[in-house]
Amino acid sequence: MTPQDQLQQKTTSSARVAATVNSGDVLDYGMSINQPDLFDQALADRAAQLKDVYIRGILTVSPRQVVLVDPEQNHFSYDNWHFGTWDRRQFDENLVSYIPFNFGESPQIYRDYLEIDLLVIKTTPMDRHGFFNFGASNAMVKVACEIAKRVVVETSSSLPYCYGIENAVHISEVDGVIEGNNAPPVELPSAAITDIDRQVADYILREVDDGACLQIGIGGMPNAVCGALADSPIRDLGVHTEMFVDGMVDLAERGKLSGVKKSSYRGKIAYSFALGSGRCYDFIDQNEQCISLPVNETNLPENIARNANVVSINNAMQIDLSGQVCSESAGHAQRTGTGGQLQFVRGAVMSPGGKSFMCLSSQFVRGDLAKSRIVAGVDPGTVVTTPRTDVMYVVSEYGITNLKGKSVAQRAQALIALAHPDERDQLHQQARKSGLLNRKYW
């Protein structure tokens, strides 16, 4: 039977697929802009007929009707591997729970510990060879297809078609095909760059050499680093990253990303998923320079370290004076997730000549409230994302320090110097009182 024959046989409606879901089933929605919309609505419409249907997703970027239709969670429960804006709002309403993990371990976690009764993901329409491309969200999706009892794709011609490894599923492996609504994928606008971001970027830029291999996170500071690199004389940069973001388009279009110094995927922009503006999606669409990889290939430290001179740049929400980095929660309130931060910190340090940077503004400011992000001790309930033993460079708008080889007292002294001037005296007093500073530093 040809792929076209199989497609005709397997094409169905979202309502028909939703009708096959039974109480107690475990469903998976995949990731980000590849989560299904028509099926989600059709399943929500069946809420009264179902009980205890469990659904997993990651980095949800648009409302999930199965959550909104059932606030008491009598029919559906929804857990998430990494929070975006929508997930944070639902967490604050006690509607979503976070699943802790290191992102690069997710394919193994799926294989060894999880079951899926039904996987429904959004893909590109079938190509002439019978494949449905995962587009901008590779991650662990292929493994999810392998372990799921049933796989259904909801197609969208608006998704980018991305070349890569394990970034497609064949019609022979699919149980149903829903023709989607082809709505444009959700865009994540680039964060505005502040003067603080530019100052942090300037400190980092001094540590980046020709031929460095970049991992850059998302936010104003990483955007500022990309902008500074684009305007600099630094050349022959490579990319081996978890997430492809808009700032990397700037670097590519300025001719900075030759990738000729890379050892793995030489000359290629290697990433596992992309989230950004339409410009970002347009860039990766059928782009031979880009290669989409499963997240274990991008994120496991030993794979990161195959490249020399890795530069890993990530944001922190809070750091204590011993060097513990908190990047995912405010107290018990989950805000994002561990993601790949710890793995890229370790991979960069393992890389010959590699460097890892933790970036933060000295203060969190909202309205008239200003609170130091550099603290004597981590706030109660706040999750430590990267242990102090792993942290290398820390950067604020007031400077940069390398914590490797420093004692706790030396770390405290160095980090107090990165704090806002209004906070330094109090931090010094707290450090003395808690024993973080010995008498030499009083």
Residues identified as active-site? 242
Pairing of strands 53-58, 76-80: parallel
Please tell me what DSSP assigns to residue 210. Answer: T
Nearest to residue 395, comparing CAs of 308, 322, 309, 314? 314
CB 223 within 8 A of CB 247: yes
> Which one, of 181, 159, 192, 148, lies nearest residue 56 by Cα?
148
Cβ–Cβ < 8 Å for 269, 244:
yes
> In 10 A of CB 87, how many CB atoms?
29
Residues 6+ apart with CB under 8 A from 433: none
Residue 331 belongs to what H/E stretch? none
Rounded-to-integer distance, Cα 383 and Cα 364, Å = 17
| φ, ψ of residue 84 in degrees (nearest 5) | -105, -170
Please choose, from the candidates 230, 281, 275, 279, the residue with its C-alpha nearest in 3D space to the C-alpha of residue 256: 230
Give DSSP secondary structure letters for 242-288: SEE-HHHHHHHHTT----TT-SSSTTSEEESEE-S-HHHHHHHTT-T
CA–CA gap between residue 53 and residue 23 (Å, rounded): 6
Inter-residue contact 363 to 302 (CB < 8 Å): no
- DSSP structural state of residue 133: E
